[in-house]
Structures are given as structure tokens and as C-alpha cells.
Chains A and B, each alone.
Chain A
């Protein structure tokens, strides 16, 4: 699963789904027995994880959205973030 990051097209695991929480006014990932609250950037990344886009494409979309961002720094942030939620079994 970790072998080839270039061809990885992440999407949420079958057991996880994204929910907009109107009370806290933020997105959260729901999964068995728990919920993970996301900030705006985190939510933007997860929304792009549709199983069709590669990580490169996700970063392209985000850098377009955030304009002035340093692409290498953004790439590192996205990779770190995805690794964190993948370690919890929430991405495939």
C-alpha cells in the first residue's frame, strides 16, 4: 500500500465518511467509535481524496486555491497530513 506514492489515488476507507458538523461549524471524519475534526485545510484535502486524483493533482488543486503557497512546502504538508489519517486506517 505504501510502495508507490506516485500512483496512489487516495480516498476515504469504506468505513469512514466526511460530515459537515453544523454545531462546531467544521468538517469531521466519522468512523467506528470515533470522529476526527478537521480544520479548513484538512477538509479541503480530504474532499479532494476521491480515488481519482493523484497526490500531485491534489497539490495542484490546492496551490491553485491558495495561490501564493510554496508548492514543495504544500506537498510536504499534504503528504504528512495524509500519512497521519492513513495511519488511522481512514484512507485507502
Chain B
């Protein structure tokens, strides 16, 4: 077993409940099965244990974390543990009174998502009327002087709006703009062909983003998260499995990343079962792909294995059928052809599948071959 490194980041998915229905949602497709959310006291204990373990960054995420009635208490406790506390929100449920209470509780930063630079396209992706409210919330956040990041998940339906999105971030007074190209897991994988941009769209957007990154340096920090299908570079997922990052879902399962539940046979221990330190150090799931003993060729002898860690384990499972294989994004993967064909399969005609409880039930009933 590899000695457990120090975790720096905890993503706390406080709930899977959400008023939005975004077609790219990263929550598991079977999220409706998740019941029995951790109670306030359980999250407080988790934050304390995480801070003792070395975590310094806490992301309060969801679903929509503002749906938790105890958010103020959770922020207060996170700050008492000296965690840098970031709220990741859709913004549709926020008002001035709530924001002031969050600030008084010590919230460090807000990450607000919008789905596009125009109402119609944004609401087509969010699946509900939400655009104006989000912009109002963004202005409020800015007026109150909260440090904030504007996050936009980028895909075929909004990739042409990148110049307007940069202008929007500047107008709204964000300090940071994440142009986060869709990562194809969970609901985004269901909608892959509808969300996959064309090569031309992607290269144009990337060029515009690169220029803007240099132009606005010092005013607005712009982050362009790549679409690995189109960049061709395997991502060093989570900076390496179980290395510096952990995600805890609404029922308390401790995972190396929020997508890891797609890998068959992964059984996650929950914070109800024992101390976080022990789960981080010893749990089979956390150790499954730590270090490089698990690697197969071509990764095992590859000079880049310390750089990209063989890419993403979930993607290796989804596209190559083996979570220990090289991520098929890599040209050296024997399964790279799958990525080639999915990259070319970009279709404006595909119907969008929206993330909601009803669809979650429906998709969870699909027949599958147990592995």
C-alpha cells in the first residue's frame, strides 16, 4: 500500500436536489436513489476531520447547496476550521439577505454558474427559466463585494458565445471566469453528441480564450478547461487518484472524484462508518489507483506517467471497459479509435436529455449487463 499523501481539497456535495435541469450535470445519472443526506452535525464533524487531515480548500457544492437549510451553520463551522470556503451555486435561490448572512458566517468566495450569454440558449441548457435571476444574483454578489468566479460549462450550444461570455464576466465584476469545456461524464455523457463541439468551433474558442487570458491578466483571471476529446491530451485527473483531492457525496460516501461511482465494483466507505483519516488512508476505493502499481502498458513504461497519471480512470472504464487501462484519449491507447469516432459524432439534431428525478428514474431502469 502507498503511504497516503496529504489531501488539500474537499468537495462537499451537500445535496443532489437542484431546481435546475442542466443537460451537462455532473451528478450521477442515478442520483434519485440518493436519500438520507448527512445531517448538519455529520458535516460539521467531516469538516473538522478534513481540516485536521490537511485540507485547506472546501467547496460547498451540490446539486444546489443553497437548498440546505443549515448552510449558514455549515459555513460558520468551515471557517472555524480555517477552511477556505467556496460556495458553488446556480444562484437562482439567492437574495441579499441570504448573501449577507453567508458573509457574516465567513464565506470566502462564490462560484456562480451561468449557462450562456443569451437567455434563450442558456435556458435551453438549464431546462428552466433562470437566466435573468442568475444575472441579478451575479450583480448582487458583485455589489456586496464578494470575491466571485463566473463558471460557464462550454459545449456545442454556447461555444460560439465565448467572446460575449468574457464581456459578461467583465461587466458583472467577476475576478475569475471559468470557461469549462464539458467533461463527458454522467448527464453530459448521455448528451455527448449534442454537446460535442466541432473541431472548428473548439479551435476558434480556444484561440479567443488564449488571447483574452493574456489581455485581461491582472483584471480578470480566465481559465480555459480543455475538452480532452479535442485537445487530445489525457488529463491528469484530480492530480492523481487519492493524491490531493476528495469528494464526499450527499450520503457521506468518500470518493476520489465525483464521477468515480461509474466504475463497477467500487464500494465507497461513508463518513458514517468511520473517521475520515482512516477512510482516506486505508479504504480500498481510495487506494485502487494510488501510485502507479496498477498501471498497464502503454502507461507503465511511459515517460509521462508522472505527468498525466494515465489520464482519467472513469473515462478508461467508460471507453475502454477497464478502469486500469490507458485513458483512450491518449493516442497510444489501443482504444483511441473510440474517441476519434465520438469526437466526429457532433450532432446539432440530437434531442437533449434533461437532468431531473423523473429522467433519473427512467435511465436507472435501463437494462445493463452487471460486471
Measuring CB to CB, which residues of chain A are less than 8 angstroms from any residue of chain B? 1, 13-15, 17, 19, 21, 23, 28, 30-35, 86-87, 89
Determine whether the beta carbon of A35 is less than 8 Å from that of B57.
yes
Q: Which 5 A-B pairs have the closest CB atoms?
A: A15-B147, A30-B84, A14-B147, A23-B54, A32-B109
Determine whether the beta carbon of B218 is less than 8 Å from that of A15.
no
Determine whether the beta carbon of A89 is less than 8 Å from that of B175.
yes
Give, as a whole number of angstroms, the nearest-CB distance from B173 to chain A: 11
Query: What is the predominant secondary structure among interface residues of chain B facing chain A?
Result: loop
Residue interface mask B141-167, A partner, CB < 8 A = 1: 000010101000000000000000000
**Set A21, A31, A33, A87: member contacting B218, Cβ < 8 A:** A87
Give, as a whole number of angstroms, the nearest-CB distance from A19 to chain B: 6
Residues of A within 8 A of B54 (CB): 23
Bound CA–CA A86/B57 (angstroms):
21
Determine whether the beta carbon of B56 is less than 8 Å from that of A30.
yes
Determine whether the beta carbon of A1 is less than 8 Å from that of B147.
no
- Sorting the interface of chain B by its residue count into under 10, 10 to 19, 20 to 34 or 35 or more gives 10 to 19
Sample (15) of A-B pairs whose CB atoms are under 8 Å apart: A13-B175, A15-B175, A19-B56, A19-B84, A21-B56, A23-B54, A28-B56, A30-B57, A32-B147, A32-B149, A32-B175, A32-B176, A35-B57, A35-B84, A86-B218
Determine whether the beta carbon of B56 is less than 8 Å from that of A14.
no
Bound CA–CA A15/B218 (angstroms):
13
Residue in A closest to B56 when the chains form the complex, CB atoms: A35
Q: Does B108 contact A (CB under 8 A)?
A: yes
Determine whether the beta carbon of A32 is less than 8 Å from that of B218.
no
Q: Does B221 contact A (CB under 8 A)?
A: yes
Q: Does B82 contact A (CB under 8 A)?
A: yes
Residues of A within 8 A of B6 (CB): 23
Residue in B closest to A30 when the chains form the complex, CB atoms: B84
Residue in B closest to A34 when the chains form the complex, CB atoms: B57
Residues of B within 8 A of A17 (CB): 84, 108
Give, as a whole number of angstroms, the nearest-CB distance from A27 to chain B: 12
Bound CA–CA A34/B221 (angstroms):
13
Bound CA–CA A35/B55 (angstroms):
11
Residues of A within 8 A of B175 (CB): 13, 15, 32, 89
Bound CA–CA A2/B228 (angstroms):
37
Bound CA–CA A70/B111 (angstroms):
44
Interface residues of B in 163-193 (CB under 8 A from A): 175-176
Q: Does B224 contact A (CB under 8 A)?
A: no
